Amino acid sequence: MLSRGDSIRYKEAERKLKQKIMELKRKNRVREEFLSLALHKLRSPLTPIKEYVSKILDGKAGDINQQQKRYLEIVKRQVERLVRLVEELSELSPVKSGRLGLEKEPIGIIDIIEKVVQSLRREAEDKGISLCVEFPASQPIVRGDEKSLREVFTRLIKNAVNQTPSGGEIVFSVKGEPIVIGQDKFVEILLPTTGRQLSQGKIGDNEDTGLGLVMVRSIVEAQGGKVRFEDGSNRVAILLPLVG
């Protein structure tokens, strides 16, 4: 039984806590708006920079010497890097702010991975790389957002393709035996990558901005899943919550 004094103190603490939450939400909104505005402002000048450098390199503004060409190629590469950074930040910001509108519905994980593999198989084969997937006999059903999960697997498989030399083989697997953590059951998907780069927080080739990893983790965690990087084995494990 609370005394009258305790009750007043609790109510006061509750009021202060609510005030604090509102303040934090407001600050978060301001930060998101700033990020959105900064991205908007960053995108606009990138088009003329990128395109005019390309025009000069293509000789559309007259002849250039070898040294000028080399310098402009560096500018072009760095601008392309900046473009990727802006793209990734744009994709990341709604995930971080919870405004991505993630649907959480039962979906078959094999169906998702098959679609991704199908879309990337040609790219891999052009590089002389074969993509192999090991599936369990029955389809694990997870609760998640199909579109964003496709994005996760596309990024991870593309990364593996970029890291694999021609003539190589990429094998990834969907485990049939669920992983139990507390009360929850997860399906485990193992994908190859390069441990050294991941430990440096990078996904993708050397030109990658490193935000791919943050994005993958954000999407998976937003759906109640987990991402584990297995040091030394060059693999990443994605755990997604199973239905039922």
Instruction: Give the interface with another protein as residue ranges (CB under 8 A).
Output: 39-41, 43-48, 50-52, 83, 86-87, 90, 94
Burial of 30 (0-12, 13-18, 19+ CB in 10 A): exposed
Closest separation in Å from C-beta 42 to another protein:
8
Closest separation in Å from C-beta 40 to another protein:
5
Q: Is 169 helix (H, G, I), strand (E, B) or coil?
A: strand
Contact (Cβ atoms closer than 8 angstroms) between residue 143 and residue 243: yes
Question: For 127-201, where are the alpha helices, taking DSSP H only?
Answer: 146-163, 195-199
Closest separation in Å from C-beta 47 to another protein:
4
Name which of 90 and 173 has its Cβ closer to another protein: 90
Name which of 148 and 159 has its Cβ closer to another protein: 148
Closest separation in Å from C-beta 122 to another protein:
21
CA distance 23 to 27: 6
Closest separation in Å from C-beta 166 to another protein:
28
Name which of 44 and 65 has its Cβ closer to another protein: 44
Name which of 83 and 214 has its Cβ closer to another protein: 83
Name which of 27 and 43 has its Cβ closer to another protein: 43
Long-range contacts of the stretch 172-176 (C-beta < 8 A, 24+): 172/132, 172/133, 172/134, 173/133, 173/134, 173/135, 174/109, 174/110, 174/113, 174/133, 174/134, 174/135, 174/136, 174/140, 175/136, 176/136, 176/137, 176/138, 176/140
Which runs of E-coded beta strand occur in 71-193? Answer: 105-108, 130-134, 141-144, 169-174, 179-181, 184-192
Name which of 50 and 175 has its Cβ closer to another protein: 50
Q: Which two tokens stand for residue 148?
A: 């964003």
Closest separation in Å from C-beta 238 to another protein:
24
